[in-house]
Structure 1
């Protein structure tokens, strides 16, 4: 080997050794890493889409949520916003953002509001979960909890069975919470079901302390979304008390046993296809 090559290697070795032992960049400690996975399927009209987004905007910047963040041990959270529909339709609309006060909360919602309202075909909750879970890997944050928050207005009807993917997500230590939207009355030939809250409880949410907050009226969007975020940030549940008034957001703990009927969405889709052919 020429002398010049030896000289070059000798000059590079200290630098290469430094690279080999350089410490990895420390992750930022937060109280919760939270993925907001939001349904944009065509079953939700544009007005409902705007209500849904406005609910998150108002909740994230609300004094109650900002105070909950301030009271956490790390006084900050990390949030990512995902929009999803069918099995191949998921999008990271707003990437991971540190929220530690009013300014950063407003910066997050500004990014969100700058995005156009989108709609797409079919409903794949399993696809949303499968897309969201890897987002926690090497995201630069180290949370006391990792949570996927799924909001939607219908059951899984495309992609892998939702129970199968849910099990994989829970095995990673990620909690799944839900915000089922039950505003529309189910009609024949549609993919709506009357007991979507039960479906979410038994087939979607899971993990330690998991819960869901059903939305049954348009007016409840803001209050329900705020309640859900408060619980996810605080990692706590409201104290026992009197039953809420009709129409008020409710908190339902996740069912412990799996429901064998969690394929209802896929069944409805097949029935709908048969009905359209005949």
Structure 2
């Protein structure tokens, strides 16, 4: 608990936290796979990819094209049963400066302690995170990315998904296909993870496609 409190205190310096009742078009939780199947290099690639995608001119154009021109992002790492952790708190992005602030915070955040693939618990954590969001969001979205199916969740992914959808939250997924054995991962995410109006699965065929796939996904979610 003390370590998490110190981490949160440090991150508050690196980010520009959303202000109370700050209206935004979208509140979006980026939930990244930090489980045992993800090594340090792979996690760093994901984090740097998130920073690049959020700062992409096409994503910023999508943000600015909305009525309010602002999207609130939070960054979550998941893996262990019941262990999903918020690594970067809600941060409002409406321009390149805001995107850079959020991206730096994601890249600099320490790695959380995770194992297994508890996607259901990640969804439950992200759903609860909206309750603490200081923004008034028109739409709420959970963006789950990972390279494996749900395993050992305390709350199975379909149950957590249905609970989130019942609260008006949409869940989309990015399947990172890095092994031939994971060829059915997109189908598993479509069946067990996504939900809500217009929910979809984006696919990245390995790390080389991750940034482009995430950029496409963000534009589709925001605009």
Band of TM-score, shorter chain: 0.7 to 0.9
CA contact (8 A) 1:36 1:149 kept: yes
List aligned pairs for 1:35-184, cutoff 5 A. 35-118=29-112, 120-158=114-152, 159-184=154-179
Q: Give the deviation of 1:119 after TM superposition.
A: 5.4
**Which residue of the partner structure matches residue 219 of structure 1?**
208
Deviations 1:202-233 (A, max 9, x none): 11101001111111122101100100111111
**Which residue of the partner structure matches residue 197 of structure 1?**
186
Structure with more strand by fraction: 2
Say which SS state the counterpart of residue 108 (structure 1) adopts. helix
Runs (4 or more) in structure 1 with deviation over 3 Å come to: none
Which one scores higher on RCO, CA 8 angstroms, separation ≥ 6?
2
Give me the whole-angstrom Cα distance separating, in 2, the residues matched to 1:119 and 1:135.
19
Say which SS state the counterpart of residue 178 (structure 1) adopts. strand
Select the structure of larger CA radius of gyration. 1
C-alpha RMSD of matched pairs (Å): 1.5
Normalising by the residue count of structure 2, what TM-score does the alignment of the two structures yield? 0.87
Normalising by the residue count of structure 1, what TM-score does the alignment of the two structures yield? 0.70
CA contact (8 A) 1:125 1:155 kept: yes
Q: Give the deviation of 1:26 after TM superposition.
A: 6.5
Q: Give the deviation of 1:49 after TM superposition.
A: 1.4
Say which SS state the counterpart of residue 206 (structure 1) adopts. coil
CA contact (8 A) 2:141 2:170 kept: yes
Q: Give the deviation of 1:28 after TM superposition.
A: 1.7
Give me the whole-angstrom Cα distance separating, in 2, the residues matched to 1:141 and 1:80.
12
Say which SS state the counterpart of residue 83 (structure 1) adopts. strand
Q: Give the deviation of 1:116 after TM superposition.
A: 2.8
**Which residue of the partner structure matches residue 230 of structure 1?**
219
CA contact (8 A) 1:42 1:119 kept: no
Say which SS state the counterpart of residue 49 (structure 2) adopts. helix
Listed as ranges, the gaps of 5+ residues in structure 1 are 1-24, 187-192, 235-278
Q: 1:210 aligns with which of 199, 203, 223?
A: 199
Q: How many residues align?
A: 204
Deviations 1:102-153 (A, max 9, x none): 1111111111121134452111011001111011114211111100000011
Say which SS state the counterpart of residue 216 (structure 2) adopts. helix
Q: Give the deviation of 1:34 after TM superposition.
A: 0.3
Deviations 1:31-83 (A, max 9, x none): 10000011100112222212211211110111111111111100001010000
Give me the whole-angstrom Cα distance separating, in 1, the residues matched to 2:155 and 2:89.
25
CA contact (8 A) 1:55 1:226 kept: no
